[in-house]
Structure 1
Amino acid sequence: MAPQKTLQAFLATARAALTAPPSKRSTPLHFVVGNESADLDSLCSALFLAYFRSHEPPHTLHIPLCHLPREDLALRPELAAVLRRAAVAPDDVLTLSELPPPGPDGLLRPEDTRWLLVDHNVMTGALGRTYGGRVVGCIDHHEDEGKVPRDAAPRVIEKAGSCMSLVVEQCAEAWDALAKTDDGGGSEDRRVINEQLAYLALGPILIDTNALGSKDKTTAHDERAAAVAEAKIRSVSSVSVSGSGTGTDNETKEIIGPDLKRFFDEVSALKEDISGMSLRDILRKDYKEWTTAEDNDDNEGTGLRLGMSSVPQPFAFLVDKAGGEEAFVRELERWSASKGLDVTAVLTTCKAAANGGKFSRELLVWARTGPEVAAAVKRFAERNGKEKLGLGMWGDGRLDAEGGGSWRRCWTQAEVRNSRKQIAPMLRDALKGV
């Protein structure tokens, strides 16, 4: 086992490898990358997995890549908060802005790369079009789309509230071994390093499971991973996994100790505070995109384009920020046109104080480019709207519209257990063949 580095030192090594002149670059380069939404779970999972894959035999350097341009890091203050606990700054991480362009003549050739996916099991977008054939493994908690080879290693696709929980389980043995390694350094230094890594792991686990208190999201994977990470923290805070995941979303104080409760509250508040952002920034903060060409293995075509934004505030907030329903629709149209979307979806979440802090969801779907696309989105609503999603009219239909090949509906969503992980496959399935 190689000597243990701080996360910051590891990222400096990864940066040096990625930015080295082509003549001095060791190939193939191994990357770990999360999905296009680049949420806290994707970003932290990529950092954590790359760190331990690099430290364990055969000690192949894995470069963690944040799946977003550098300028978009500013839209994720919750990531900065978690990184601070790991003694890392946003400037230390690597983004798409640092990835050399693909091509010959000494640039980054696809054949000189290997890609390990976290928090998704299909490489989409520009990365997918260039490097999709170089995927060698994945760790994910979404629906298995069958694109990662069955003999890939690792190939872990299981239900969990947080992908990080699956990553921690995969790395737990190496983490324990590394934490106990006598490499000539001080044991106190190792304790500090592993406490920092524990906060990196606990950030997304706590956020994605509501501090292990969400009965709909928390699984045994999340409980075990939280216990593994918490054991590396020296403070008196503790995670009591017995009975976790069985209470309501308001029982966090009974599940985690005071230090982790403060950590969770800090990160959660930053994640949900979008008050200072423009509507465009809100829509792109947590955004994912798919094409039907990807679903149909059509490497030559472009297909229909579906984009989905997740927003931690209700539509009433978005409408008020825009200056009314008409202004909101105009802004949403500009955003959709800029992305070339055939179908736009916006999913909101909220814990309204006026509603006793009860968790709620809303959904808007807009078919924009013709009657066939509109018919497909109507099929989505007919197949899934009542029983699977519990959809009801939002705001007396003030955001609904149809005509001229366009069809838009905004709903309340009673079945709050279904998030983008479930809704995206439903929409994509309805769009197949259009």
Structure 2
Amino acid sequence: MRVCAGLVMAASTAAALPSQRTEQIAFGMQSLPHKLEEGVGHFSEWSRETKKEFLIDWQANKESEWIFVMGNEGGDLDSITAALSWAYHLEHSSANTSLPIKAMALLQTPTDALDLRPENKLALSNSDMSSGHRDLLTIDELPEDPETLSRKIKGIVLVDHPTPLRKWDDAKILSIIDHHTDVGTGPDAHPRIFEKVASCTTLVARQMLDELEQLPEEYHMPHELLQLMLSAIAIDSDGLNPKKSTEEDRRQSERVLKRSHWHKKDLEDIMEDLDKELGDAKKDLADLGLRDLLRRDWKGDLVDTPSPRTPTVSLGFASIPISMDQQIERTEWNELFDWFAVHAAWTAEVGADISICLNKHKVKVPSINKKKKIREIVLVVRDDVRVDDDQADELFRVAYEAIEKDEKLNVKPWHRANELGKRQMVWTHEFEDGGRKYVRPLLEEAVKAWK
């Protein structure tokens, strides 16, 4: 965790440096060997100043004045954009009122993990943000742990996430804007919006623009923010592809576009170009080793169980767009044992009792001269975090049976399943909708019923 004083001191030092200096600069606990570039434009300036103001207020014991807007810990572009957009709106829409709001977008992804999604780096760069993500407040930059801070801040707003992680349980949920399944969290939140669209940014854009147009005087919406919003919607909707998007995605994209510097351009052309550019970047994972592949899209939390000995279990999910065989090739010895060694080191680091890797890749089918999508599910249960050996065996059985017996998944053993060790299993399946949104609730319900 970074030290607040170090952040402020380093920021002051960086501001005083000549623009051409490229030597290493201490910034908190990191060293940045490359040239530091400040973002340009109102959006970057606002984000950087808001981060600074929060840290100053934290130092002065005024955390209670702040609202955190947070997405999910996977840190995808939609989650980042939705959080930044709504925080910007809360602050600017209330700026000229008797009760101005202090709102900060908190990214629940460590700084060094943001670029494991190359599309994030590209989109933020295109929006003229500072290099090294120094405009953004990330989870590893919090000056104290979330469990403590959650009891001090004014509250949280959830975007692209239906329920807070357990570490934020003590924070008041002020609003929820999400495009996932409503699980009943925060019944008194306002606004409280759950709607099936391709991108959560679509819902944020609608609420934001609806409220903006009702103000006595509209605040400034910088082009950089509008471009980021269009980027998030584009990549999640495949460029407004009718098979992936909804009419609401299209309608709100049109409203955002009309306010941007691109207002004279065709919506379809803009969204297709953004999707192509960001989609190409998203696929560029050639330089990532297995550990980075595991953590680039990792989501997990504690799950309650009826077991008196183990009332909570940590369940984690990784989503990787590469096959198990290809992942093995990215280990040091290119061997199956090495995959599980790297995986074990990562799950030990994050304290996961049960981990699920959801892989997907395409294979060519010669008979039809086309490619089909193959999905894989990797299940591993540890016995050294919260559960002992016997409990781990039982948890593995419960999770194993939940996957094996699901008729929609219709899983088959991986071609090397006979080489797997204790409490390890790998399956393949072809259920199109069998990603994390389907498998995670399946496993959570199974674990909740474990005794």
In structure 1, the partner of 2:321 is 312
Q: Which amino acid aligns with 2:319?
A: S
In structure 2, the partner of 1:266 is 277
Describe the shift of the 1:161–1:352 C-alpha distance in structure 2 as closer, same or farther (beyond 3 A).
farther
In structure 1, the partner of 2:411 is 391
Describe the shift of the 1:393–1:228 C-alpha distance in structure 2 as closer, same or farther (beyond 3 A).
farther
Is 1:119 aligned to 2:157, yes or no? no
Which segment is superposed worse, 130-139 or 90-99? 130-139
Shift of 1:424: 0.8
User: Alpha carbon RMSD of aligned pairs, Å?
Assistant: 3.1
Query: Given that residues 30 and 63 in structure 1 are in contact (C-alpha distance below 8 angstroms), is that contact kept between their aligned partners in structure 2?
Result: yes
Quote the Cα distance in structure 2 between the aligned partners of 1:229 and 1:155: 22
Is 1:227 aligned to 2:227, yes or no? no
Shift of 1:97: 3.0
Query: Given that residues 367 and 374 in structure 1 are in contact (C-alpha distance below 8 angstroms), is that contact kept between their aligned partners in structure 2?
Result: yes
Quote the Cα distance in structure 2 between the aligned partners of 1:353 and 1:238: 36
Describe the shift of the 1:363–1:24 C-alpha distance in structure 2 as closer, same or farther (beyond 3 A).
closer
Which segment is superposed worse, 325-334 or 279-288? 325-334
Query: Given that residues 66 and 101 in structure 2 are in contact (C-alpha distance below 8 angstroms), is that contact kept between their aligned partners in structure 1?
Result: no
Is 1:408 aligned to 2:425, yes or no? yes
Equivalences for residues 47-58 of structure 1 within 5 A: 47-57=84-94, 58=97
Q: Which amino acid aligns with 2:257?
A: E
Pick from 121, 129, 138 the counterpart of residue 88 of structure 1.
Answer: 129
Is 1:162 aligned to 2:199, yes or no? yes
Q: Which amino acid aligns with 2:378?
A: L
Describe the shift of the 1:75–1:328 C-alpha distance in structure 2 as closer, same or farther (beyond 3 A).
same
Which segment is superposed worse, 201-210 or 348-357? 348-357
Query: Given that residues 110 and 139 in structure 2 are in contact (C-alpha distance below 8 angstroms), is that contact kept between their aligned partners in structure 1?
Result: yes
In structure 2, the partner of 1:346 is 357
Query: Given that residues 397 and 410 in structure 1 are in contact (C-alpha distance below 8 angstroms), is that contact kept between their aligned partners in structure 2?
Result: no
Equivalences for residues 26-425 of structure 1 within 5 A: 27-57=64-94, 58=97, 59-89=100-130, 90-101=133-144, 108=149, 110-124=151-165, 128-148=166-186, 150-176=187-213, 181=217, 193-213=221-241, 215=243, 217-235=244-262, 237-239=265-267, 256-257=268-269, 259-293=270-304, 303-322=312-331, 323-350=334-361, 356=370, 360-369=374-383, 370-384=392-406, 386-387=407-408, 389-394=409-414, 396-398=415-417, 401=420, 403=422, 406-412=423-429, 414-425=430-441
Describe the shift of the 1:269–1:103 C-alpha distance in structure 2 as closer, same or farther (beyond 3 A).
closer
Which segment is superposed worse, 67-76 or 156-165? 67-76
Quote the Cα distance in structure 2 between the aligned partners of 1:209 and 1:398: 36
TM-score normalized with structure 2 length: 0.77
Quote the Cα distance in structure 2 between the aligned partners of 1:34 and 1:347: 21
Q: Percent identity?
A: 25
Describe the shift of the 1:330–1:162 C-alpha distance in structure 2 as closer, same or farther (beyond 3 A).
same
Describe the shift of the 1:103–1:194 C-alpha distance in structure 2 as closer, same or farther (beyond 3 A).
closer
Shift of 1:44: 1.1
Name whichever structure is richer in helix by fraction.
Answer: 1
1:328-386 Cα offsets, whole Å, 9 max, x none, are: 233223322333322211112346688756555332223344221122112311442x3
Quote the Cα distance in structure 1 between the aligned partners of 2:76 and 2:218: 35
Query: Given that residues 240 and 272 in structure 2 are in contact (C-alpha distance below 8 angstroms), is that contact kept between their aligned partners in structure 1?
Result: no
Describe the shift of the 1:321–1:197 C-alpha distance in structure 2 as closer, same or farther (beyond 3 A).
same
Give the secondary-structure state (helix, strand or coil) at the position aligned to 2:426.
strand
Shift of 1:50: 0.7
Query: Given that residues 123 and 132 in structure 1 are in contact (C-alpha distance below 8 angstroms), is that contact kept between their aligned partners in structure 2?
Result: no
Q: Which amino acid aligns with 1:306?
A: L
Quote the Cα distance in structure 2 between the aligned partners of 1:109 and 1:289: 19
Unaligned stretches of 5+ in structure 2?
1-40, 384-391
Describe the shift of the 1:292–1:226 C-alpha distance in structure 2 as closer, same or farther (beyond 3 A).
same
Q: How many residues align?
A: 389
Q: Which amino acid aligns with 1:361?
A: R
TM-score normalized with structure 1 length: 0.79
Q: Which amino acid aligns with 1:169?
A: R
Query: Given that residues 150 and 169 in structure 2 are in contact (C-alpha distance below 8 angstroms), is that contact kept between their aligned partners in structure 1?
Result: no
In structure 2, the partner of 1:6 is 42
Give the secondary-structure state (helix, strand or coil) at the position aligned to 1:27.
helix
Unaligned stretches of 5+ in structure 1?
184-189, 240-255
Quote the Cα distance in structure 2 between the aligned partners of 1:230 and 1:279: 39
Query: Given that residues 280 and 331 in structure 1 are in contact (C-alpha distance below 8 angstroms), is that contact kept between their aligned partners in structure 2?
Result: yes
Query: Given that residues 231 and 271 in structure 2 are in contact (C-alpha distance below 8 angstroms), is that contact kept between their aligned partners in structure 1?
Result: no
1:207-257 Cα offsets, whole Å, 9 max, x none, are: 222222262x42333222222222233435423xxxxxxxxxxxxxxxx31
